[in-house]
Amino acid sequence: MHEGILAGIRVVEIACGIPGPAAGLLLSEAGAEVIRIEAPGSDAEQGTALFSVLNRGKRRVELDLDRDDERRRLHTLLADADVLIHDFIPSRAAALGLADDVLAAACPQLVVSAITGWPSRHPLAEALPRESLVLARLGLLDEQPGHRPGPIFVRMPFASWLAAWFCVIGVMARLIARRRDGRGGAAHTSLAQAALAPMSMHWSRAETPTPVFAKGLDKTTPIPLHRCFDGRWIHVHYSPDKAPWMAEALVAMGPEAVAAENAKYPPSHVAPNFGANRVIIATRPAQEWVEHFWQHDVAAQVAAPFGEIYRDEQARANGFVVMVDDPVLGRVFEPGPAYTTAPPPRLRGGLRPLESDPAWSVPRAQAFDGAPKGQPGSAPLAGLRVLDLGAYLAGPFATQLLADLGAEVIKVEPPGGDAMRRLERIFAGTQRGKLGATLKLGDPAAQPALAALVRWADVVHHNVRLPAAHKLSIDYETLKAINPALVYCHISSYGPLGPRKDWPGFDQLMQAACGWEVECGGEGKPPMWLRFGVGDYLAALSSVFALLLAHFQRQVTGDGQAVAASLLGATLLTVGEAVMRADGSLSPIDHLDAAQTGVSPDHRLYRCADGWLAVAALRPEEARALAALAGSDREAWFAALSRETACDCLTSAGVPCEAVLENPGLSFLDDDGCRRAGLHAAYPHAVYGHLEQVGAYWNFCDLPLALDRAPPALGEHSHRVWRSVGLDEGQIQSMVAAAVTNP
């Protein structure tokens, strides 16, 4: 059996919840040895399906870090480790001897990733890392549409899952930089930074915006979730009007009736006949509609119950669903690895028992052999060359992250522009840091330029459907013949294998398939799309992790490879809150209430006299304090108090809470605490003038990020790019004359 790309890497994990344990799982299944430190009897999550999923295959060691002798054992372990992942607030980390400066002196080889609630320079750096409270403070709960006015409790813990991926990408970037610099260091991230990633497509401000940029895409935009004849709901992405059943029904309705139905809803950028589509879709059962749409290349999915995806043929064909023998849960179906590399990630067994007396002296299979090579100072991925051939959101956001980390990224788009340019604010949110060039892929006159780009690149990344990629001559075999050492990364919708491997798909459809639209709607209510586009961002992040693994291996072997990620695989990992038993039943999960206020009296939103308050009493002692304070009629207790008074009472009693920011608009960009924490980025743009956007997703302390180049205007750097990859002026003018690039 293969060892995995990270064989020989030792990771120490001290974290609860989702982000840290999920990050440890990802590193473990990539080949690292992960040692999880657990406090005696402290983890209330033990025994749950999520705990078993996130901690399978790891060594579990019990240590009481409040005891001096146990802390010394931890530091002995860290002296021989490569990576530490923890979720301690800064003061707690310092008390345990885990402050950055202390670890840098004692363990210079160690890569440290702290996943906190907020960045260390933010005023809330000492706040407990509770996702719902972070979303409340940022205003994201009021950015989510719901079945009622006001802020909505977000059922899917998307920021926690995104934070896990940001963590492992930061770790990989640091491990790559460690080979260059001869030392480890920080690779921190936070729930706030992860939560802000999807807002990169919404929260930006321009000095001279175009009307389209200024308008953006707000939460009132109708989402094409349609109720069918059998009461089930389907999500249809883009217009279904050309599918025969729909086309025939629209003609039968007549233009006046179609216009009347459409007028009942705000205009939709994805479905011009949104209202009429709703009426027509209500005439047939859901499965009939999706099968008809699939036959005619219309992207659609049934909004399935949570956990139903475990039965899915496509998910199983790609290993996104796996059978695990768990000592607590028995034989169950769980989420499998979300990406592919060579060698592939692999399961390392079910949940292991705690080790009461671990063999601390057992050396690693491969100790770090680096030596100090001078003062580090370059961005983590400085020198990496990336060719971005993607479009829409998942592909371009992935390459933007590589640019943030210091890679040189060239974005290639058609002379008419990326299809996402029509949604200017969303487009700009996935393109910063890149040099932009235009090229008409597939045209014979463009082939010399494409070959020059591929010879220049270390990495090619795209999310074009593979049949189209072959037609455009950007498939792996074609590009590998030009550059054998290439790391080629592809994002698909449904995964690289199985009957749907070449189907169209979008974030919304993966939310529907994985049950999140049903869960986000609330019990007994219609399903609701989570507006933050999490499937796209999860897929983007998983693709970056996969390609960094491949690059890490190539630094040793010199060999390139093709790696893959997908919307379905990355989204399905989040279904790990539940597992499917061998008899087909599902382990229980918490459901969002019908009012969309929360999942329990201890973890929900309450309306005070002057606004909403989020409460996250997740520990038993916090829940007891809340019960003692608010009594049995909690809604009445909160309604009688101002938000400030209620928050003061709760905080004094030790109950974590946060006022919910409503109508946030662009207040984030005016927040000085966020600015000081590095959460803003600003630069001059060729069209928009001074442009402000969401900023840093990591803090590497002694290594800078590259957040100084605005998203490119169409063809802004074409001439510069062609000269940099070796084309002469005659070749460039020939391309312009052939209309395969812009002047």
Written in H, E and C, the secondary structure of 30-85 is CCCEEEEEECCCCCCCCCCHHHHHHCECCEEEECCCCCHHHHHHHHHHHCCCCEEE
Answer whether 2's CB lies under 8 Å from 346's CB: yes
Three-class secondary structure assignment of 722-740: HHHCCCCHHHHHHHHHCCC
Within 8 A by CB and 6+ apart from 439, the residues are: 412, 413, 414, 415, 446, 449, 450, 735, 740, 741
DSSP string across 156-206: S-HHHHHHHHHHHHHHHHHHHHHHHHS--EE-BEEHHHHHHTGGGGT--EE
| DSSP E strand boundaries for 404-486 | 408-413, 434-438, 459-462
Q: Is there a contact between 460 and 486 (Cβ–Cβ < 8 Å)? A: yes
- Residue 334's DSSP bridge partners are 322
Bridge partners of 351?
56
Token digits of residue 587: 């382990």
| Through-space distance between the first and last CA atoms of the chain, rounded to whole angstroms | 54
Residues 6+ apart with CB under 8 A from 138: 192, 195, 196, 199, 661, 664, 668
What b-and-e string marks burial along 302-317, b requiring 16 or more CB atoms within 10 Å of the CB? bbbebbbbbebebbbb
Q: Residue 389 and residue 439: Cα distance in Å, rounded?
A: 10
Residue 622 to residues 434, 589, 717, 731, Cα–Cα distance (Å): 47, 21, 56, 69
How far is the C-alpha of 279 from the C-alpha of 250, rounded, in Å? 10
User: Could you give the CA distance from residue 450 to residue 740 in angstroms, rounded to a whole number?
Assistant: 11
Q: Calculate the alpha carbon distances from 150 to 274, 542, 617 in Å.
A: 25, 33, 22
Three-state DSSP class for residue 602: coil
Residue 69 appears among annotated catalytic residues: no
Residue of 443, 536, 593, 671 with catalytic role: 536
Name the residues annotated as catalytic: 536
